[in-house]
Amino acid sequence: MAFSEDFLREVRDNNDIISVAQSYVELKRVGSRYTCKCPFHSDDSPSCTFYTDTNSFFCFGCHAGGDVITFIRLIENLDYPEAVRFLAQRAGLSLPEDKADGSDVLRRKLYEMNRTAGRYFHEQLFSPAGSRGLEYLKRRGLSEHTIKRFGLGYAADDYHALQYFMRSKGYSDFDLADGALLARNNNKMYDKFRDRVMFPIFDQRGNVVAFGGRALKEGERAKYLNSDETKIFQKREMLYALNYAKNSKADYFILCEGYMDVISMHQAGFDSAVATLGTAITPEQARLIARMGKKNVILSYDSDAPGQAAATRGINLLAQVGIRAMVLKMDGAKDPDEFIKKFGAEAFRHLIESSGNAIDYEMDKLTAGLDMMTEDGKSAYIKKAVGFLAGISDDLDRNVYISRAARLSDIPADTVRVAVEAEMKRRKRKSDRDFRRELIHPRNSDKINPDAYKMPREEKAERGIICALYHDPEKLDKILEKLSGGFVTDFNKRVFSHLVKLVRNGTTPDISLFNEEFESAEMGRITAIVSDTMLAYDNDALEDYIKTLNEYSANAARKDAASMTDDEMLRLAQELKEKKK
């Protein structure tokens, strides 16, 4: 949706970025600025800075940045129009007439399409065709109330049942394929989910964004099948049942692996249960949990080897975002669903209350397979322990477990502490070395401006010109008059063109006015460019930047001319002659 400049300024002025950010992160004041550990990447130190004078933010670690609208886009996983509406409602502002743009129209269609498909699957479950699915769910111990609450359904054992139904509702096959409801094979489209119990996946606001399907046939290659990712569904950024669990009065989340574990726990009264979507926990999911305000997570994974590996990964990722992890040890059952069925809800509640500290859990695992009565066993243990202890970010926790490792290995605590600190310094040096190497010899990994590494001198000149024009719009005529060569990297060219359009319209440049045209990741780069205090943009510097681009253009033109045929040269001369007329 195209919002007016005046409305965007009103939204921004009524949503101070410090006030908004404090709802999600813990800020520390440093002079006129505020800092925090970045909520958008795993941050060991406060690398995210909020600027009160420009109502903007920038992270020097992951390079996320922008204004308050960009912040909400990133932290709430919203697109641009949704973020503006979110902030307008927060400030009690009336929205202008809603004229959706192409991206907004697509997202709304996907939401409506998934909602329609979800209702269809749910109705099928309670029809004669869905009896096998309903029997399966009841056999798993789910009540009708729970089935309806989670919107569970059934996909018929038919290649075209959903396809034909959705066509009758006005959706094309291409719409359904874009929404990951149809699969394609040799230009043929057919239902992705067939003969499966269906689990709608909701976002935090209760929109159906995807589906998971559990096969009813034995021997199916994929027991569980999830929707492919779409414009509204990125599985690494979502947690199943978070729309319910975020409202729980419990001061912890229970993190599980599967849909049935979560649903069984909610039915048994444990309404803070959530699950990852077919993968181990991701950094994005860990940060999402941290933003929910709960400081504790109980890991309730399967007792098999993959489950234990997932628990270890979860412990590390949660620790990086300041979440205290605990681990459930389930004797006599492989997962929470089975445990609750065997021993009941009260036994599971006792299990939660007695869940162990995650660091204890990991430290205990270090002794596995070692004979701690021998010197060799103690030596092998302490080597593993030093590596693990160096990864504990909290100073107090690290010192407590250094003492424990020292007692177990019969080594003085100071000796262990020196070894741990040396390992921490080694890792820090490696990290700094990798960072400097990337700055000096960048790899072709810049997804925002992939041309930058090929032409670093010209790309810097482009940034200098953008910065000069942003801070001094009066320079536009001078820039356009002297810049004969034009920009050479696509991203900077887009930024410059948009900036020129703003200035020509008499608009004072502002970060907020880039949100509609640029993705949230791109907003971070734009913020970095216009906030770069190391980038000179006075008149002399501007002259140098323009000269750099003009020289590049002239050299490129000479190379092109050298490779021209006689006929091409004659044609070019004729075109120049016509232009002069």
Task: Give domain status of residue 530, yes or no.
Answer: yes
Same domain, residue pair 323 and 383: no
Phi-psi region of 182 (alpha: psi -120 to 50; beta: other; left: phi over 0): beta
Residue 229 DSSP label: P
Task: Give domain status of residue 489, yes or no.
Answer: yes
Domain boundaries, position 323: 242-363
How sure is the predictor about 560, in pLDDT bands with cuts at 50, 70 and 90? low
Same domain, residue pair 356 and 375: no
Q: In the prediction, which pLDDT does 187 show?
A: 80
The rounded distance, in Å, linking the Cα atoms of 572 and 566 is 10
The rounded distance, in Å, linking the Cα atoms of 509 and 383 is 56
Same domain, residue pair 381 and 349: no
Total domains, the chain: 5
Q: In the prediction, which pLDDT does 573 show?
A: 63
Two tokens, residue 260: 């049935």
CATH number at residue 526: 1.10.860
CATH number at residue 286: 3.40.1360.10
Same domain, residue pair 473 and 508: yes
Amino acid at 222: A
Task: Give domain status of residue 96, yes or no.
Answer: no
For the cut 90, the answer to whether the pLDDT of residue 511 exceeds it is no
Same domain, residue pair 286 and 302: yes
Which residue, 408, 440, 472, sits at the end of a domain? Answer: 440
The sign of the dihedral angle between the CA atoms of 550, 552, 555, 560 is negative
168-179 per-position pLDDT tens digit: 999 999 999 999
Task: Give domain status of residue 348, yes or no.
Answer: yes
Task: Give domain status of residue 384, yes or no.
Answer: yes
How sure is the predictor about 314, in pLDDT bands with cuts at 50, 70 and 90? confident
Q: Please tell me which residue, 308 or 193, carries the higher pLDDT value.
A: 193
Same domain, residue pair 353 and 384: no
Same domain, residue pair 358 and 401: no
- Helix, strand, coil share of the chain (percent; to 5): 55, 10, 35
Task: Give domain status of residue 200, yes or no.
Answer: yes
CATH number at residue 31: 3.90.580.10
The rounded distance, in Å, linking the Cα atoms of 173 and 566 is 52
Task: Give domain status of residue 421, yes or no.
Answer: yes
How sure is the predictor about 283, in pLDDT bands with cuts at 50, 70 and 90? confident
Q: Please tell me which residue, 194 or 258, carries the higher pLDDT value.
A: 194
Task: Give domain status of residue 391, yes or no.
Answer: yes
For the cut 90, the answer to whether the pLDDT of residue 132 exceeds it is yes
Same domain, residue pair 505 and 410: no
Interval 513-525 mean pLDDT: 88
pTM over 0.95: no
Determine contact, residues 499/510, Cβ cutoff 8 Å: no
70-81 per-position pLDDT tens digit: 999 888 878 888
Same domain, residue pair 166 and 66: no
Same domain, residue pair 210 and 109: yes
Same domain, residue pair 109 and 87: no
Q: What is the CB neighbour count within 10 angstroms for residue 155?
A: 27
- E strands of 111-152, at which residues? none
For the cut 60, the answer to whether the pLDDT of residue 222 exceeds it is yes
Which residue, 91, 120, 154, sits at the end of a domain? Answer: 91
530-543 per-position pLDDT tens digit: 887 666 767 888 89
Which residue, 363, 379, 409, sits at the end of a domain? Answer: 363
Nearest to 257 by CA among 282, 277, 237, 235: 277
Nearest to 279 by CA among 242, 309, 250, 253: 309
Same domain, residue pair 422 and 492: no
Q: In the prediction, which pLDDT does 161 show?
A: 96
